[in-house]
Structure 1
Amino acid sequence: MPSSPPAVPAPTPAETPTLAELMRRGDVFSDRCPSREVLQHVTSRWGVLVLVALLEGTHRFSDLRRKVAGVSERMLAQTLQWLEADGLVRRQAFPVVPPHVEYSLTGLGREAGERVQALADWIEGNLADILAARETVQRDKSANRPK
């Protein structure tokens, strides 16, 4: 007679996390998790590029705009505001005319920047294979279209 698997005991009240603990810890797969918004900011196209650019050091807005080719002034400003609000970017405004503002990474921002830089490096290292896969899928879709 096969033995049944051991029963898993139900968590005791002391082991059951409270809603506040769950929210602090986060659950990125939950649609109500606040970490999703941070994930969106960090992993957006411009968020990744800004974090990687700031790994090199402090930059002024215009320097970042030149470095991150293709980003609009509005989108760069919004991305910097999101990353600042998330505690990843430090904004320092100097009381001079014309205005002088510098952006740098916080400790959290440096850690996030290093992680997304590893992802960007992986993409660059595998770009030829990724592009070949895209071509294959496009070719297969074209071949299977009704004529």
Structure 2
Amino acid sequence: MRTQKITSALDDRYLKRLCTANRFKTSRELNCEFSQYTKQKISARTVRRRLLSAGLAARRPRKKPILNNKMRIKRLKWARNWTEKEWNRVIFSNEKKFNLNALDGLGYVRRRPGEEFKSYTTIKTTKFPAGLMVWGCFLRVELAGWKLLKEM
């Protein structure tokens, strides 16, 4: 069992900088880059431990639609003009697409707490890949049900 760390504080900062330059790189890819620069052999597990201690845990990336500033301003303006009575008449709905022929994006992203919806830790989504669509909705006080919409 080792009593001394194999990497220095400078090495740890370099690993952190490599990771924050591209959050989607695997620990093996980061290890390869680190070894080329420092000529020091460390394991991918050591890379993961150092990044975890820096607050960069590997997580599944969130997906979010691409919205520009004009779209955001328009949505906020619309929502702020409604009264509570109007919001009580809203049916909240959602749908879930189950992909049939493709994976749902990349494996993991390294991020700190609170960074889950930052642009550099999310996967940008596009419309219309093949799959099944399920739709469901609820009112303010009750569940309205779900339905298989169609095969896409």
Please classify the TM superposition score into its range, dividing by the shorter chain length: under 0.3
Q: Which has the higher helix share?
A: 1
Q: Which has the higher strand share?
A: 2
TM-score by length of 1: 0.20
Greater RCO, 1 or 2 (C-alpha within 8 Å, sep 6+): 2
TM-score by length of 2: 0.19
